[in-house]
Amino acid sequence: MKGEGTGPGRPPGCREALGLVTDYLDGALPAGRRRRVEGHLARCAGCSVHLEQIRAVIEVLGGLAGGDIPRGTLGGLCAAFLGSGTPAPPEGRQ
């Protein structure tokens, strides 16, 4: 399917939540941001699915690398797999 990652009509906060999800899973977020992410995930089925997918990716990679993955690498991989880190395409501008 095309445009499923960053299309219009997603709730506000999706980008933030997806950007923070690796830190969230890592337990690296301060409590305030953690609550924001949790609150968003509770309301947003799409981001919940992303979270589960990223968690699965982390488990696989963690198993391969002994759990020692640089966070930047992990975030890049998640973005590559899930398209969660890509900027929205410009719309209607030519």
Residue ranges that bind Zn ion, judged by CB under 5 A: 14, 44, 47
> At its nearest, how many Å lie between Zn ion and the CB of residue 29?
16
**Which one, 47 or 54, has the nearer CB to Zn ion?**
47
Angle formed by the axes of helices 31-43 and 45-65, nearest 10°: 120
If you compute the radius of gyration of the chain from its CA atoms, what whole number of angstroms results? 14
Of the candidates 29, 32, 9, the one whose C-alpha atom is nearest the C-alpha of residue 19 is 29
**Which one, 28 or 42, has the nearer CB to Zn ion?**
42
What are the phi and psi torsion angles at 2 (to 5°)?
-100, 145
> At its nearest, how many Å lie between Zn ion and the CB of residue 38?
12
> At its nearest, how many Å lie between Zn ion and the CB of residue 65?
28
**Which one, 26 or 38, has the nearer CB to Zn ion?**
38
